[in-house]
Amino acid sequence: MKHPPAALPEKTPEILLVDDNRQGLIARRSLLQELGYSISTATSAEEALELFSTQKFDIVVTDFKMPRMDGIELIRRIRSSSADARIILLSGFVEPLGLTEQTTGADVVIVKSAGEVGHLTRSVKRLLSKPPARKPPVSADAAAKSRAKA
């Protein structure tokens, strides 16, 4: 009697979290690890770009406001090397700065708030369940306009 072939184990989704606030990184890492994701962290955009150039990530979750390079510039640089990257931008300044998917280049923009955990987990699951969209890099003009409001 033949046995059906064993199913190959599914690859654990890899997520890169980027935030200069270590407490925020720890909280999000714990949450996403509990959901079964493999998490790498970076405390700066520069560190994130280094990791992104050497590893394959299914999703990048980045903060907006960081020293030296903000989240929009990080998204622009990631998109220039990988247009189909799935990216979530987090910010406490979404409305005042007019941060949207169109102005930032992110697939999802989430407000840091009491509802952040639910929005983040739903967004990660949704982005992982559909094929990546090839998004063009945000123009330097759009990025500069969003940064000028900061």
32 located within any domain = yes
Q: In this predicted structure, what is the pLDDT of residue 11?
A: 85
35 located within any domain = yes
Distance CA 63, CA 22 (A): 12
Token digits for 120?
């983040």
Domain that holds residue 133: 14-149
115 located within any domain = yes
Q: Are 107 and 89 in contact (CB under 8 A)?
A: no
Token digits for 73?
């510039």
6 located within any domain = no
Number of domains in the chain: 1
104 located within any domain = yes
Q: What amino acid is encoded at 89 in this protein? A: L
Among candidate residues 6, 40, 17, 8, the one with its CA nearest the CA of residue 110: 17
* Local confidence pLDDT in tens for the 150 residues of the chain: 555 555 545 789 999 999 999 999 999 999 999 999 999 999 999 999 999 999 999 999 999 999 999 999 999 999 999 989 999 999 999 998 999 999 999 999 999 999 999 999 999 999 999 876 666 555 555 555 555 555
31 located within any domain = yes
Q: What is the CATH number of the domain that holds 109?
A: 3.40.50.2300
9 located within any domain = no
